[in-house]
Structure 1
């Protein structure tokens, strides 16, 4: 029997070395997205032989700075986290990214986050058909579900307890989403800054 050595991070199902090699050879900035049970984290990194360097990073809890009162890990939160990361990326002069998932699955949360990054003005090679539709990103499906569940007060109060504690109702998800996105857009880089960044990155 022949013994084949397996790298530790491969055994732990943490690193896809084929994808890592492609990142190093391509010398492209990449985005890594993690959606947990409580939070969303999105990072822009540069790969090197000595380890990855973080260019900029956003957690969904930062959405509260803009007044966000909804969940921290649903589709609207994933999108807004990506949108904020896209704005910060442009401020750092990064306007082209590729997605690195490693050994993680490509989920709807990751897709929503990518959509936010792209809508902020960053170019990512991704098929539109793999992204959630606009209504789900705005939380319209949550608002509809809340309207139906409202007939059972007890279930409604349990399901949306955290949101209700914030003095807000889930039926308002789409409007609240647009309000927060608008605040982010108005505090992001100016058109001149984006144009300057795009010029610097040509060639």
Structure 2
């Protein structure tokens, strides 16, 4: 007979470092859809997800590859692209009747002015209510691409794509 405690194996997604269940439960307790913002090496995505006991349901999704179809010529993972992805996601959500959400940045660290918060700013500008602190949002000059290699070209392209997204919204 063993006198030691039985070893408890943590959930698989926790072991793999993919899910923080404590944070997930806090987000789900709000009973609001989650605005899930994720980045990869070259792209960026924003989704609005609703909880379902059988499995979460993606209600609205926007990806930086969609910006190419709208005429975006810049890099797809910088601050202006993240803002436009957020704006596109927010416009689609508004069309589906979603009025509010709660931000889910997953395991990414919260860095003031980062691409994650640029996407949040886009969703806010589309008219979706998301609880946030104004100090974490990036400044307007970063959103339009004033920090990029070709700021004039970036600003012009940014304005064109933003207008197309806002036309789709109406």
Please report the TM-score for the alignment, with normalisation by the length of structure 2: 0.89
Change (3 A) 1:170 1:140: closer
Q: Is 1:187 the equivalent of 2:168?
A: yes
Q: Is 1:47 the equivalent of 2:51?
A: yes
Partner of 1:95: 99
Tell me the distance in 2 between the aligned counterparts of 1:32 and 1:106.
14
> Of the candidates 30, 33, 37, which is equivalent to residue 33 of structure 1?
37
Tell me the distance in 1 between the aligned counterparts of 2:106 and 2:72.
30
**1:19, distance to aligned residue in structure 2 (A):** 2.2
**1:24, distance to aligned residue in structure 2 (A):** 3.2
Which has the larger helix fraction?
1
> Is contact 2:105-2:116 (8 Å) kept?
no
* Residue range with higher mean Cα deviation, 117-126 or 180-189: 180-189
> Of the candidates 8, 14, 36, which is equivalent to residue 10 of structure 1?
14
**1:16, distance to aligned residue in structure 2 (A):** 1.3
Q: Which runs of 4+ in 1 moved over 4 A?
A: none
> Is contact 2:79-2:115 (8 Å) kept?
yes
Q: Structure 2 matches for 1:1-203, cutoff 5 A?
A: 2=5, 3-107=7-111, 108-142=114-148, 146=149, 171-189=152-170
Tell me the distance in 2 between the aligned counterparts of 1:24 and 1:177.
34
Aligned-residue CA RMSD (Å)? 1.6
Q: How many residues align?
A: 164
* Residue range with higher mean Cα deviation, 131-140 or 170-179: 170-179
> Is contact 1:16-1:102 (8 Å) kept?
yes
**1:38, distance to aligned residue in structure 2 (A):** 0.8
**1:117, distance to aligned residue in structure 2 (A):** 0.4
Larger-gyration structure (1/2): 1
**1:98, distance to aligned residue in structure 2 (A):** 0.3
Stretches of structure 2 lacking an aligned partner (at least 5 in a row)? none
Tell me the distance in 2 between the aligned counterparts of 1:170 and 1:137.
11
For the residue of structure 1 that corresponds to 2:47, the secondary structure is strand
For the residue of structure 1 that corresponds to 2:106, the secondary structure is coil
Please report the TM-score for the alignment, with normalisation by the length of structure 1: 0.76
